[in-house]
């Protein structure tokens, strides 16, 4: 800059000099050196809710305030509808009052009068309490209010007009529970029954929108400055811009705000390069159908969350919201029809997007294959019926592992895309992909995406966008990923602020592109980019939460039993209809019972990770399924076998025995004689049919039971021979026709072991690897082994043990004539705390892999801990059986209601009972009854019939007193190959004249089989799992039946149209 001349005579020059001096001073201020930390903290304090609120920007967010004209309430222990609530007598209430206890409901009547002086202002009703609130206006729910979900205001008007009502009445329905229930001391502790909930604010305020917008601008810039790092040019641009905005803002003069906002806009409008990663942001609100709160409260959580989303959509037409679980839609449809109508409108506009295709977000491990099919069938039919479309993506972000059979089931239900994120919770190994193809045990593949931010509850912050890009394990393969934003688990959903943050990040240099998107848009782009994606084969095993295979044993038992009951009712009802006559298939009752069972398969109920109130509800639902199922089964049998059940005068009674499984069975049954006494009989019953039993069969070899001099007991039936010590442990287990011993020398099988079971945090969820270091064999004998049945058709022996400090176990060990396995009928009075009970079977078999039954098939897992991936699976899940085999010989463990298991080295172990104390302090403290069995076999488990034996254990024959009429045995269905299981026989969903049968290949082989039926079939065709006929799927009806081709673990459904 040219220096000013010295000397006089320079009035004009002096004037210029003054201006130049001021300019220099201003530039000096502008160019002042900035200390990064002080500049950052300066901006932080300008936005702080805690510091300097008397003079910072945050303190100007709200203008004048005024209290309600009147506030009154009434309290009820019930969750009641609005119409009933407003008729009650309300008593005065005030801010600062507390309400409760936990799970009560308070209804508040709030009369408001807006001051006329607030004309032109944006007016909010502010409500803050630690309970969950819902605002009702003009008989309709209009806004959810939950402090934990950052929703504490209901917008009354965006600019108060004279014509708008200044006086109005609102009702606030307040649930005495928080977003995450009411845990005593910690979130997952059992609920505090005496908790009180305080109303801390209820007022009208003027909301200063221009202050809010400036706050969001500054928050984004501050985050960019802090998170982009000192090596990044954009970090400093953001920091200096924010600092300059603080300089420009006079918080008492809103006219200074627009210029400051222009500075922010200049930064946000600097665009990205073409190669930048694109984030597909979608609103989401994960609502657990029950967890730390009961099912009934979830209905209100859905309404509170979804009505808030509807309000947001009215103001933000770009907002999309992905919403799963047909059950929750059904709840809202039933309880909040006005809200549901609004949701239907937004579904039609493709903003409110049903996803997932299932009835609930179910557990991914424990439901049977057929239960999983029904999750999709009930879900997809609901979405088709209500919204005119089925879902194209499976959505299960929060389940504790994913069965390797899921890809085939998805594909069979019209789904080729899958979204989850739970494997980010792995304790040991980091899963290697975020976008990949997942291949199931049959070879079916689905495109799978894990949002790389590893969450389904993002808040639209800079940090989350950067994490999404940095974390993405498939960089270079795909350049798009999902971000799900909204409060979740306990509901809540997206907020306006989340949207406003992301609007500023839509295309800002230094940050990934952020666009509000849909699941379909995301997956469509990923499909186009999928040529370089990797494939993961087999199960998606979560290396955490493996205590959930065992916790709440009564829920596990209820699930397995009710799956059996519904199977049997469907089989028998279908056969009764096919026989002709007046019998009507109980379709609507079965749908209701299935939906109860599917609801209980929600991923915090069936796993047992819920509070006591939920356990009580779940057990009540199982009781209802058992009761109604027994009635429906009786009606079906009465219709199917009416002629055979009428006792003839003076005739000796015989027994009608029904078999709902697809193979002939020869078993010992218990039947009630004329005098009411229980007698045993050996019977043979054809596949899926019945037989009349008058004179029972004589066994090829009766069961022999002998007590030895040392107190041990030997039993044999010609198939297997066992020796038991006084504590009920097997010292020998041999196949009758071979000298091959199953129990290693010096070892005991059926050995109970107790472990300390104290996880790091997630009590009901986790069993940690270190529990294995605390093993204590159970050796406290209360009653030594004694013979209880001396042989013939059945031999048995019983004993009792003390377990831990105060629990007892009584077991009857049973061997039936002609039966290839030894049963253990077990009763436990369980009163432990943080203990884990297992039963162990060391076997004389060497194999590096054990086999476990899963849905419609099986898979192998290692018996060694070579790698971290191996030892992370120290506790795994199985369904009805697990097997350890070497060439030519093996031993299987069968069970009727257990899921947790392990096989390490040569020890097969079944997990029986846990005793966690949160979130249910009473978990599993009860009487338990369960049965497991051990089955040694020659050859492979496939050829030895392990699969069929496990079904037989779980699906007992049904014996009904009958007349003595002569009647040939009758079979409705049979399958020519032992490799194929006919799993399901039911009426078609929308064709009463048609039957659906579902079969699967169970051995892991390629096979052709013939399906034979005695039903009057006039037409047969293949269909998918939604019962839609396949193109070119017609099956010729031949003499031998219908010819079906299977590849390993393939599931086939066949639609049979019956002649009337």
Which pair of structure tokens corresponds to residue 217? 């601008």
* Cα–Cα distance measured from residue 667 to residue 434, given in angstroms and rounded to the nearest whole number: 51
Contact 692, 683 (CB under 8 A): no
Give the pairing of strands 132-137 and 167-175.
Answer: antiparallel
Q: Can you read off the two tokens belonging to residue 176?
A: 């005495």
Residue corresponding to tokens 């059926």: 750
Residue 1021 CB partners (closer than 8 Å, separation 6+): 1029, 1030, 1033, 1034, 1035, 1054, 1055
Long-range Cβ pairs for the range 242-245 (8 Å, 24+): 242/39, 242/43, 242/218, 243/34, 243/39, 243/42, 243/43, 245/214, 245/217, 245/218, 245/221
- Determine whether 520 is exposed, middle or buried from the number of CB atoms within 10 Å of its CB (0-12, 13-18, 19+): middle
Packing angle of the helix pair 587-600, 553-578 (nearest 10 deg):
160
Distance CA 435, CA 420 (A): 11
Distance between CA atoms of 240 and 229, rounded to whole angstroms? 14
912 neighbors 925 (Cβ within 8 angstroms): no
- Determine whether 726 is exposed, middle or buried from the number of CB atoms within 10 Å of its CB (0-12, 13-18, 19+): middle
398 is catalytic: yes
Tokens at residue 844, please?
Answer: 């004389």
Contact 76, 104 (CB under 8 A): yes
Q: What is the 3-state secondary structure (H, E, C) of 331-365?
A: HHHHHCHHHHHHHHHHHHCCCEEECCCCCCCECCC
Strand partners, 910: 839, 901
| Residues 76, 82, 86: CA angle, nearest 5 degrees | 75
Torsion of CA 715, 720, 725, 729, to 10 degrees: -140
Element (H, E) at 592: helix 587-600
Residues 6+ apart with CB under 8 A from 338: 139, 140, 141
Q: What does 197-240 look like in DSSP terms, one character per residue? A: EEEEEEEEEEE-HHHHHHHHHHHHHHHHHHHS-TT-HHHHHHHH
- Cβ atoms within 10 Å, residue 765: 22
What span, in angstroms and rounded, lies between the C-alpha atoms of 559 and 567? 12
Distance, CA of 372 to CA of 364 (rounded, Å): 9
Contact 930, 557 (CB under 8 A): yes
In angstroms, the Cα distances linking 804 to 108, 121, 380, 643, 831 are: 52, 69, 48, 55, 9
Q: What ranges in 641-700 are assigned the alpha helix state H?
A: 642-645
Active-site pick, 398, 725, 766, 883: 398
Provide the annotated active-site residues.
Answer: 398
């Amino acid at each position: 800059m040219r220096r000013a001349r010295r000397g006089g005579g320079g009035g004009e020059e002096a004037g210029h000099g003054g201006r130049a001096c001021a300019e220099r001073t201003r530039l000096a201020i502008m160019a002042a050196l900035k200390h990064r930390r002080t500049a950052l903290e300066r901006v932080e304090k300008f936005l702080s809710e805690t510091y300097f609120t008397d003079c910072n920007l945050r303190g100007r967010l709200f203008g004048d305030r005024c209290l309600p004209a009147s506030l009154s309430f009434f309290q009820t222990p019930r969750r009641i509808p609005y119409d009933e609530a407003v008729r009650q007598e309300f008593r005065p209430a005030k801010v600062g009052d507390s309400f409760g206890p936990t799970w009560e409901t308070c209804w508040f009547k709030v009369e408001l009068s807006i001051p006329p002086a607030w004309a032109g202002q944006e007016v909010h009703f502010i409500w803050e309490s630690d309970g969950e609130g819902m605002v009702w206006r003009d008989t309709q729910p209009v806004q959810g209010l939950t402090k934990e979900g950052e929703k504490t205001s209901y917008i009354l008007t965006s600019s108060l007009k004279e014509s708008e009502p200044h006086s109005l009445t609102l009702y606030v329905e307040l649930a005495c529970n928080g977003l995450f229930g009411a845990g005593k001391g910690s979130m997952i502790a059992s609920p505090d029954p005496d908790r009180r909930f305080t109303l801390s604010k209820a007022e009208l305020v003027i909301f200063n929108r221009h202050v809010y917008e400036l706050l969001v601008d500054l928050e984004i810039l501050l985050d960019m400055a802090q998170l982009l790092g000192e090596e990044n040019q954009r970090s400093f641009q953001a920091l200096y811009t924010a600092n300059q905005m603080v300089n420009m803002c006079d918080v008492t003069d809103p006219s200074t705000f627009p210029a400051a906002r222009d500075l922010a806009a200049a930064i946000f409008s600097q665009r990205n390069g073409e190669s930048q990663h694109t984030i597909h942001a979608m609103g989401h609100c994960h609502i657990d159908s029950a967890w730390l709160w009961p099912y009934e409260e979830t209905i209100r959580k859905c309404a509170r969350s979804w009505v808030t989303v509807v309000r947001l959509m009215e103001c933000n037409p770009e907002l999309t919201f992905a919403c799963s679980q047909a059950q929750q839609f059904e709840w809202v449809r039933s309880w909040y029809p006005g809200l549901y109508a609004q949701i239907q409108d937004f579904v039609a506009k493709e903003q409110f997007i049903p996803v997932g295709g299932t009835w609930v977000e179910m557990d991914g491990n424990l439901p049977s294959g057929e239960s999983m099919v029904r999750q999709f069938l009930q879900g997809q039919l609901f979405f088709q019926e209500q919204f005119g479309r089925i879902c194209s993506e499976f959505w299960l972000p929060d389940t504790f592992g994913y069965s390797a059979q899921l890809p085939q089931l998805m594909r069979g239900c019209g789904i080729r895309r899958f979204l989850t994120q739970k494997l980010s919770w792995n304790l040991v190994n980091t899963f290697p992909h975020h976008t990949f193809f997942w291949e199931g045990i049959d070879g079916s593949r689905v495109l799978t995406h894990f949002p790389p931010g590893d969450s389904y509850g993002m808040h639209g912050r800079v940090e989350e966008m950067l994490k999404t890009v940095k974390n993405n394990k498939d960089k270079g393969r795909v350049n798009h990923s999902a971000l799900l934003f909204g409060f979740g688990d306990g509901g809540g959903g997206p907020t306006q602020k989340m949207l406003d943050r992301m609007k500023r990040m839509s295309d800002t240099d230094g940050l990934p592109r952020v666009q509000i998107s849909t699941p379909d848009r995301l997956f469509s782009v990923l499909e186009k980019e999928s040529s370089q994606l990797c494939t993961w084969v087999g199960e998606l095993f979560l290396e955490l939460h493996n205590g959930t295979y065992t916790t709440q044993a009564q829920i596990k038992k209820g699930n397995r039993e009710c799956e059996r009951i519904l199977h049997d009712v469907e089989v028998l009802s279908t056969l009764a209809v096919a026989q002709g006559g007046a019998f009507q298939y109980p379709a609507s009752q079965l749908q209701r019972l299935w939906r109860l069972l599917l609801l209980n398969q929600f991923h915090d109920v069936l796993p047992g990770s819920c509070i006591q109130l939920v356990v009580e509800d779940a057990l009540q639902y199982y009781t209802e399924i058992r009761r109604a199922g027994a009635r429906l089964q009786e009606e079906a049998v009465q219709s199917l076998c009416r002629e055979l059940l009428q006792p003839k005068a003076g005739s000796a009674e015989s027994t009608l025995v029904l078999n709902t499984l697809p193979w002939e069975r020869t078993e010992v049954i218990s039947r009630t004689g004329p005098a009411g006494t229980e007698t045993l009989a050996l019977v043979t019953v054809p596949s899926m049919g019945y037989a009349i039993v008058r004179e029972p069969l004589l066994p090829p070899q009766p069961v022999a039971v002998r007590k030895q001099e040392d107190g041990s007991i030997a039993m044999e039936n010609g198939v297997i021979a066992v020796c038991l010590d006084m504590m009920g442990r097997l010292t020998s287990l041999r196949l009758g026709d071979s000298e091959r011993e199953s129990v290693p020398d010096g070892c005991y099988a059926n050995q109970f072991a107790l472990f300390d079971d104290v996880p790091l945090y997630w009590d009901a969820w986790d069993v940690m690897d270190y529990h294995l270091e605390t093993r204590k064999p159970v050796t406290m004998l209360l009653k030594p082994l004694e013979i209880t049945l001396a042989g013939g058709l059945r031999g048995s022996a019983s004993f009792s043990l003390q377990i831990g400090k105060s629990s007892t176990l009584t077991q009857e060990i049973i061997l039936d004539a002609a039966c290839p396995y030894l049963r253990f009928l077990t009763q436990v009075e369980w009163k432990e705390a943080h203990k884990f009970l297992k039963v162990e079977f060391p076997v004389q078999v060497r194999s590096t892999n054990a086999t476990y039954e899963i849905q419609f098939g099986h898979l192998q897992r290692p018996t060694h801990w070579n790698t971290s991936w191996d030892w992370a699976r120290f506790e795994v899940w199985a369904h009805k059986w697990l097997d350890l085999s070497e060439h030519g010989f093996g031993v299987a463990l069968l069970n009727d209601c257990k899921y947790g298991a392990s096989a390490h080295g040569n020890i097969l172990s079944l997990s029986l009972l846990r005793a966690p104390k949160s979130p249910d302090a009473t978990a599993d403290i009860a009487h338990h009854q369960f049965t497991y069995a051990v089955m040694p076999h020659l050859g492979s488990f496939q050829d030895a019939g392990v699969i069929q034996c496990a079904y037989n254990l779980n699906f007992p024959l049904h014996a009904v007193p009958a007349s003595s009429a002569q009647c040939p045995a009758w079979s409705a269905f049979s399958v020519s190959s032992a490799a194929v299981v006919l799993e399901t026989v039911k009426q078609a969903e929308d064709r009463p004249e048609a039957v659906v049968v579902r079969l699967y290949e169970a051995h892991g082989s390629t096979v052709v089989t013939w399906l034979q039926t005695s039903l009057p079939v006039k037409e047969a065709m293949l269909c998918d799992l939604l019962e839609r006929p396949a193109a070119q799927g017609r099956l010729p009806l031949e003499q031998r039946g219908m010819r079906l081709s299977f590849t390993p673990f393939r599931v086939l459904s066949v639609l049979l149209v019956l002649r009337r």
